[in-house]
Amino acid sequence: MFDYRLRSSADEIGEQARDILADFNFSTLLADIPNMIIILNHNRQIVYMNRKFSMNVGKSGKAVSSEKRPGECLLCVHAINSEYGCGSTDFCKVCGFANAIGKSEQGKSATGECNITLEAGETMTFRVHTRPFIHKGKNYVFAYMQDISDYKTRQMLENIFLHDINNSITSLNGLSELMDELPDKEVKAVVNELSTRLTDEIQSYRLITEAESHQLSVTVSEVSIDALIDSVAGSLLKTRFFRNRKVSYEKTRLVTYTDETLLRRVLINALKNALEASDDDQEVTITAGEGSMPGDVDISVRSVPLIPREVQLQLFQRSFSTKGPGRGWGTYSIRLLTERYLSGKVSFVSDRDIGTVFTISIPSLNHI
């Protein structure tokens, strides 16, 4: 039975690796396989990794002995920030890799997907296959890992983009059928809304694509927080989906230096998520305040509904969405844009006393 508090010594790991490779004539064959292969002992420590896995963790050599567990080698933020490391946190309970390993520890082959959350808001997605085996009376797990990050990103972007574009086209078709029956003023308002929505969807698609491929550039300018929040809230509340929702905000006269386009996208996604989770009689509150340094700003978006614990553990993962497979990049893009490009931080709390609050901490980029 796996106990995350226990670890084998470096000498024991080395002995296990040499023992396996001495009797199994597969090291040469496995070393050059284009996907990642590792073997784990009963403490989930790596006793063998092939060249592909070594390259991913910045190491070299055909077989590298390590005292670390998979998440620690891959720099999962939850693993490296935990006292006991990979396999010990609440986040590990919803990790597809950890669950597949757990099944193999019970004697079963398993397949799953996992999202490794990295620093700066990035995510790696793997499809994993695990299989147990016994060697000289000791239990091991053979794990085969395929990096599907690019595939998942493409699937998510295409699904969302095509879904939203199709909704807009459906609305346009419906409008064309009713155009003769509607007042010109109402037709013009609907056309303007659809045009704005289509433009926003195309810009979102371009922005997240460039962000994922590290091609996004940051343009720093002076940004009025009051004007930006007014603009974001006003544009969302004009849409048919949210026109009956309520948003409150007290002006602060705060100014910072950042990329206004990226911060606007972050706030749009944060506020849209809050409005989608709320009812017409539930007010969404936006607050802004000074950060830890002059010019830094903390912006919080508060809504009433609570987020289930299992959803909280997966919120910022690329491939996770409560809307279904391949849908939703809201919270993932919030963290990606904020932490990788705006040098900020994103956090949230969700409890009965205060509801759900997302806080976006933005530094002034003129002193970084």
Q: What whole-number distance in Å separates Cα of residue 55 and Cα of residue 72?
A: 15
Same domain membership, residue 143 and residue 158: no
Q: What is the CATH number of the domain that holds 309?
A: 3.30.565.10
* CA–CA distance, 366 with 342 (Å, rounded to integer): 11
Residue 231 domain-assigned? yes
Number of domains in the chain: 3
Determine the Cα–Cα distance for residues 266 and 344; give it in Å rounded to an integer: 11
Residue 97 sits in the same domain as residue 177:
no
Q: With respect to residue 173, please indicate whether it lies within any of the assigned structural domains.
A: yes
CATH number at residue 104: 3.30.450.20
**Entry pTM:** 0.70
Domain boundary (165, 182, 216) is at 216
Q: Are residues 25 and 134 in the same domain?
A: yes
Q: What's the rounded Cα separation, in Å, for the pair 132 and 103?
A: 9
The residues, any chain, with a CB within 8 Å of residue 188's CB and separated by 6 or more, are: none
Q: Note whether residue 306 is domain-resident.
A: yes
Domain housing 183: 150-216
- Amino acid letter at 317? Q
In-domain check, residue 123? yes
Tokens 């809050």, residue located: 274
Residues in the chain where the model's pLDDT stays below 70:
23-29, 58-66, 120-121, 156-165, 167-168, 171, 175-178, 180, 318-329, 367-368
Domain limit, last residue, from 126, 147, 168? 147
**How far is residue 365's CA from residue 368's CA, in Å, rounded to a whole number?**
5
Looking at the fold, whether 138 and 245 belong to one and the same domain comes out as no
Does any domain span residue 2?
Answer: no
Does residue 152 contact residue 45 with C-beta atoms inside 8 Å? Answer: no
Q: Which of 216, 235, 251 is the last residue of a domain?
A: 216
**Nearest by Cα to 78 from 353, 255, 315:** 315
Is residue 1 in some structural domain? no
Assess whether 182 and 257 both reside in one domain: no
pLDDT digits (tens, 9 = 90+) for 72-125: 998 899 998 899 999 999 999 999 999 999 999 999 999 999 888 887 667 888
Residues 128 and 207 in one domain: no
What pLDDT, on the 0 to 100 scale, is given for residue 60? Answer: 37
> Do 302 and 276 share a domain, yes or no?
yes
Position 3 in a domain: no
User: Does 95 share its domain with 52?
Assistant: yes
pLDDT at 245: 94
- Looking at the structure, do residues 230 and 364 belong to the same domain, yes or no? yes
Q: Are residues 226 and 343 in the same domain?
A: yes
DSSP string, 45-94: -EEEE-HHHHHHTT--SSS---S--HHHHTT-HHHHTSSS-TT-STGGGG
Q: Residue 15 is inside which H or E element, if any?
A: helix 10-23
Question: Do residues 262 and 347 share a domain?
Answer: yes
For residue 182, being part of any structural domain is answered with yes
189 and 307 housed in the same domain: no
